[in-house]
C-alpha cells in the first residue's frame, strides 16, 4: 500500500542543543534505513519549512503507524497521512 505523508516538525526553541543533535542524528539514521529497505521510497523537503512530503510503501496502515511512531522526532511532529490508489489515467 502506498501512503502520502506530510510531516511538520516543531522542535521546542528551548530544547537542549545536544539533545536536538542526538534526536536529529537518530532520525536521519532511522529514515535512511527505511529508505534502503524500500519502505520509504520518496522523501522531499518542503522549501522554507522544517517539513517534508514522503511516500511510504508498506503492507498496511498499522505498519505505517509503527514506522511513524518509531521516528525519533515523532513527539515533535504533526503528521497527515493520505492513502493512495492507482489512477485510471496513468500510463
Which residues form the domain of 13? 2-84
Give the per-residue pLDDT at 16: 96
**How many domains would you assign to the chain?**
1
Strand ordering across the sheet containing 42-45: 42-45, 51-57, 2-9, 77-84
- Whole-angstrom distance, CA of residue 21 vs CA of residue 5: 24
pLDDT digits (tens), the chain, 91 positions: 999 999 999 999 999 999 999 999 999 999 999 999 999 999 999 999 999 999 999 999 999 999 999 999 999 999 999 999 999 999 9
**91 found inside a domain:** no
Q: Structure pTM?
A: 0.92
Q: Which helix (H) or strand (E) holds 22?
A: helix 17-37
Neighbours of 52 (CB within 10 A): 16
Looking at residue 68, which CATH number applies to its domain? 3.30.70.1060
- Whole-angstrom distance, CA of residue 1 vs CA of residue 47: 27
Amino acid at each position: 500500500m502506498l501512503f502520502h505523508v506530510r510531516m511538520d516538525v516543531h522542535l521546542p526553541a528551548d530544547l537542549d542543543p545536544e539533545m536536538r543533535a542526538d534526536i536529529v542524528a537518530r532520525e536521519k539514521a532511522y529514515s535512511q534505513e527505511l529508505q534502503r529497505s524500500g519502505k520509504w521510497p520518496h522523501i522531499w523537503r518542503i522549501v522554507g519549512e522544517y517539513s517534508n512530503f514522503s511516500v511510504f510503501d508498506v503492507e498496511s496502515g498499522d505498519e505505517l503507524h509503527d514506522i511513524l511512531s518509531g521516528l525519533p522526532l515523532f513527539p515533535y511532529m504533526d503528521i497527515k497521512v493520505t492513502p493512495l490508489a492507482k489512477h485510471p489515467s496513468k500510463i
